[in-house]
Structure 1
Amino acid sequence: MSALAALARVEAFEAGRAVPLATVRHVHLSARPLVFVPVLMAGEAAAPLAALVGTDRTDPRLLVVDQPRDRDQRFVFLAELARIVLDHVAQCRGETELVEATRNHEQWERHLDAPQLVVPNPGGIEAMRLLGRSARFRSAQGPYPVDPLVPVLGRYLTWFAQDRAPTAGSSVCLALTEVLAAHWATGQSALEDQHLAALLAWIVPDRFGPAGAGLTGPQAAALAEDPDRWPSAGPATDPEFDTGVLSALIAAQQRAEGDADAAHAARRALREALRGRLQPTWDLLWQGLDLLRALPEAGHDEHRWRVDRGRFTDFARAVDEGAPPQPRRESAVAAARRLADLEAAQEAYDKQRALDDPLMLAAYRVTGEAFAGTVVAVDAERRDTSGRTPKPRPRVWLRTADQVVLRQGTKVACPQRPNQRPSIVSVTRQGADCVVELELSNDMGRKAVPDEGSVPEPGESRCYATVLAAEFFPPPPLPDPEQTPWTHGGPPAQYTPAGADHDEDWH
């Protein structure tokens, strides 16, 4: 948590209402996201119990496992889920666009859309990961056949939960509590923010009490924590619900075996009880999405979604071409490459958010990584004559009330010209302020005189930050998987389907 976010939490606590942490929306929202509210059986890893899923907020599809400990019924549940998820994926694979060749990529076609899954909290992503691990190695043939769609579903759930969800800036798989907490600060703990109802109660407290009650955030959050009115989003069920309701309904189905009417009534009672537990979370999810849609899009939203569309295109094509399922454990080379990708994505996301959002940039001022002030003097005609050809090297003096702790030679940049990276020449204190001398060396055109507008004018307000000057470096060279040294396990074994895959545990 940044110092600014901590300060915002204190302000939210004193005001009794959530405080914005962002001025724009830093995630992409699809026109028709696939909302998924899973519930797993408590006490048994990755045993699905029920789910509400769909793209229509008024008509969700309820999936239920009547006997959660029956593995055959589990795979019937996964087959039904697969038809919904893979249909959503297929709808995103319609039109494509031609992407011109680059130095690192040949000309290729990219889908114009990508699927987007939204779950209540990080526990929902973990549930997807577990279900994906349980399904992707199954086979439609052999002694324990499953629906052919089940292993395909497992591969997509694994891609959503393990590949895209941890990648900073990706919007393919979203945990709504994390997204909301990144845009609003509440006066409660980060752990309490994982309760979707309590989090929304701080943001829109009026929705959790009688009309005109004028509730504060803490008062609304206390009401939202009532498990009877606002059940937890799980994915594990509430122990009191398990012992007081669920166990009796499951036992009633067992007693009704052989009696068609009684069995039908027992199944209907179970479905009504589970829908009653899931429907409040379903409604809250759509309310949270409405709040996010009300925020303006960030400037880099389209760029990040373009990356997501490209990754989706590559993965879908690999599945079509018969690539093996994701391994249980990544090889050393794959793990190193993935770590480098995650780090690069995080650096790019931090820079983009700072460029798009003044509040995000302000967080770096608090930590001393940025400073803002007014340009007080400019030497636009200054040149560097140390070489054969004089080069324009203008100097800019900026007065700021921030305490500048950056060293001489540090590269910085500002949102007005993010590609221009001046370096700090000196920092001089003048009373309570600091005067920072900057030297410009790039992004001024190719002429002997800087292009018009490329050098700040006296009186302009600028904010310079180190994060905006971060340069992209290519990932470190890695050997081919076949050349993995013995110190890192040697070359990974090629995947071949085996009977042991059917014995994959649910954890």
Structure 2
Amino acid sequence: MSTLTALARAQAFAAGRAQPVATVRHLHLHDRPLVLIPYAMAGEANAPLAALVGTAENEPELLVVAQPRNRDDRFAFAARLADILVPYVDSFTVTTEAVAIDRGRDVRYRYTDAPQVWVPNPGGVDFLRLFGRSTRFRSVDGEYAVPASVPLLGRWLTFFAGTAEVAGSALLLNAVQSLASHWVTGQSSAEDAHLAALMAWLDPPAGRTVFEAAATAEDPALTPPPGPATDPAFDNHVLAPLLSSAQPDVAELSGVLRAQLMPTWALMWRAFDLLRALPPGSRVGARWDSDRDAFSAFAQHLAEGGPPQPRRDGAVAAAARLARLENAATRYAVQRAFDDPLVMAEHRLTGAAFAADVTLAKADRIDDSGKRPVLRPRIMVATMEPVRVAPGTALTSPARPAQKATVISVTSTADRTEVLLELSGGMGRKLVAEPGSVPEVGERLLLTTLSEAYRPGGAFPEPDQTPWTHGGPPVPREPADEP
């Protein structure tokens, strides 16, 4: 926990109200999201019990598994879920747009929009990942045949669950983490993982304090859990008697489960209202473009008859994926800081950034020490903040992210620190800087060691060149269809 986050938590407890840790929304919020609230059977490995799903607040659709231990009932549930999710996904595969590549010499096409699925918490993401794995390999022929929509559903669920691991992606989001990245409460992180308790701090009912609202939210007898795990008392005293019959009363079971799921359904849409009230960060749109790229590529993969995702990655694929996830996490952290002064304040506390005033500027300085002259303006900035950078360090300003400022010298006095910087990039291709590209005297700059510069991926061998130390080349095999 950072210093500012700890301070915000203390202030939230003292004020009895959640405190913001962001001034803008750092995620894309779709106008037509698909909300999916799953419930799983206790004591069974990823056996679905029910789900409340829909794209409109006043039109939730309840899916119920009368006998979660029965294979046919589970896959009938999967088919019904597929009948909702797959058409929703397909509705975004109608219109495409051209995107210039290779410096405008060629184009590629992607869909103009993409789906967005919401679940209440990380447990919901895990449920979709496991349910996708259990359905994407099912056979549509033979003794244990399932409807063709079931393996297609599994492949889409696996795709969405995979994107949830990518920092900054907004194709599959969970409400708990999305809210917690914008506000902090006066309770523990474990308590924040409960959607109702978190919303009690963010949007308490009228006439009640957050402490009263949180206490009600944490009582499963008063506020049903958001899933996918159910309350043990509910399992023992309500659910077990209903499921013990060879032919459960589906209408009664549906009524009981709807009552359990509807409070979370209402909380999800209240969470959207809170997030929608925040203005989006300037880099949110670019991240959504990347999501549309990923969605378009996977939709094309399916259309071309590509194989389902493997049960587990090989050594090379796993290493490459880990590298992509690490790069995405680093890039997302930088973009959040560049978009949001409140996030950047964390880096200013650690010395990774400082604000300074430009006191001198020589915009027409030419460096002719090399083979050809190049434009290298220099500026002097002064600050009263701690400066923990050494000569040679490359700094960036969020106002001019394409420009690099190299530290030439750092001079500290009793009341301030002066930093001499040499600028490169972001000024045009001529020996005269474009207007406004060089900071002027009197301008206040935010300078940081954070950078959005492109980070090349690691070099990995081809899968058939996997060294023996990592298992050797993968052995191709067809996944067996299990009963």
Q: TM-score, normalised by structure 2?
A: 0.96
Shift of 1:108: 2.6
Report if the CA contact (8 A) 2:37-2:52 is conserved: yes
Task: State the secondary structure of the residue aligned to 1:501.
Answer: coil
SS, match of residue 82 in structure 1: helix
Residues 1:489 and 2:482 aligned together: no
Q: Which residue of 2 aligns with 1:126?
A: 126
Deviation at 1:487, TM superposition (A): 2.1
Return the match for 1:424 from 387, 407, 410.
407
Residue 214 (structure 2) pairs with residue 221 (structure 1): yes
Q: Is the 8 A contact 2:335 2:452 kept in 1?
A: no
Check conservation: 2:401, 2:452, Cα contact below 8 A.
no
- 1:361 counterpart residue number: 344
Q: Answer yes or no: is the 8 Å Cα contact 1:3–1:367 preserved in 2.
A: no
Map 1:190-229 onto structure 2 (within 5 A).
190-205=189-204, 207=205, 211=206, 213=207, 215-229=208-222
What is the CA-CA distance between 1:106 and the residue it aligns to?
Answer: 6.2
- Secondary structure of 2:261's match? helix
CA deviations 1:139-162 (Å, max 9, x no partner) are 11111111111111111111111x
Moved more, 100-109 or 74-83: 100-109
Secondary structure in 2 aligned to 1:436? strand
Residue 181 of structure 2 is aligned to residue 182 of structure 1: yes
| Pairs aligned (count) | 483
- 5 Å matches for 1:289-328? 289-328=272-311
- TM-superposed CA distance for 1:216, in Å, is 3.5
Which of 337, 359, 376 aligns to 1:376? It is: 359
Measure the CA separation in 2 of the matches of 1:332 and 1:226: 45
Call closer, same or farther: CA 1:138–1:389 in 2, change over 3 Å: closer
Which has the higher mean CA deviation after the structures are superposed, 445-454 or 89-98?
445-454
Identify the residue that residue 260 of structure 1 maps to in structure 2: none
Partner of 1:341: 324
Following superposition, the deviation at residue 105 of structure 1 comes to: 11
Partner of 1:237: 230
1:188 deviation in Å?
1.1
C-alpha distance in structure 1 between counterparts of 2:83 and 2:445, whole Å: 53
Task: Tell me which of 386, 399, 410 is aligned to 2:393.
Answer: 410
In structure 2, the partner of 1:23 is 23
Question: Root-mean-square deviation (CA), in Å?
Answer: 1.8
| Matches of 1:10 and 1:433, distance apart in 2 | 31
The 8 Å contact of residues 361 and 441 in structure 2, kept in 1 or not, is answered as yes
CA distance in 2, matches of 1:13, 1:269: 42
Tell me, in whole angstroms, the C-alpha distance in 2 between the residues paired with 1:322 and 1:431. 69
* Cα pair 2:464 2:473 within 8 Å, conserved: yes
Identity percentage of aligned residues? 52
For residues 141-196 of structure 1, what are the alpha-carbon distances to aligned partners after superposition, in whole Å with 9 as ceiling and x for unaligned?
Answer: 111111111111111111111x2000011100001100000000111111111111
After TM superposition, give the deviation of residue 433 of structure 1 in Å. 2.7
Q: In 1, Cα distance between the equivalents of 2:378 and 2:104? A: 37
Tell me the distance in 1 between the aligned counterparts of 2:371 and 2:32: 60
Letter in 1 for 2:94: G
**Corresponding position of 1:78:** 78
Tell whether the 8 Å contact from 1:4 to 1:363 is kept in structure 2 after alignment. yes
Task: State how far apart, in whole Å, the 1-side matches of 2:310 and 2:361 are.
Answer: 58
Deviation at 1:388, TM superposition (A): 5.0
* Secondary structure, counterpart of 2:434 in structure 1: coil
Once the two structures are overlaid, the 10-residue window that deviates more, 416-425 or 225-234, is: 225-234
1:36 maps onto 2:36 in alignment = yes
Q: CA deviation at 1:241?
A: 0.4
Q: Distance in 2 between matches of 1:299 and 1:227?
A: 40
Name the counterpart of 2:482: 502
8 Å contact from structure 1 (residues 324, 495) kept in 2: no
Deviation digits for residues 319-361 of structure 1, max 9, x if unmatched?
A: 1222221111101111111112112212221222222111121
- Displacement of 1:452 after TM fit? 2.4
Q: Deviations over 1:72-102 (max 9, x none)?
A: 1011111100111101111111111122342
Distance 1:391 1:105, change over 3 A: closer
Specify every segment of 5 or more residues in structure 2 that has no aligned partner in the other structure, as ranges: none
SS for the counterpart of 2:270 is helix
Which stretch shows the higher mean deviation, 28-37 or 100-109? 100-109
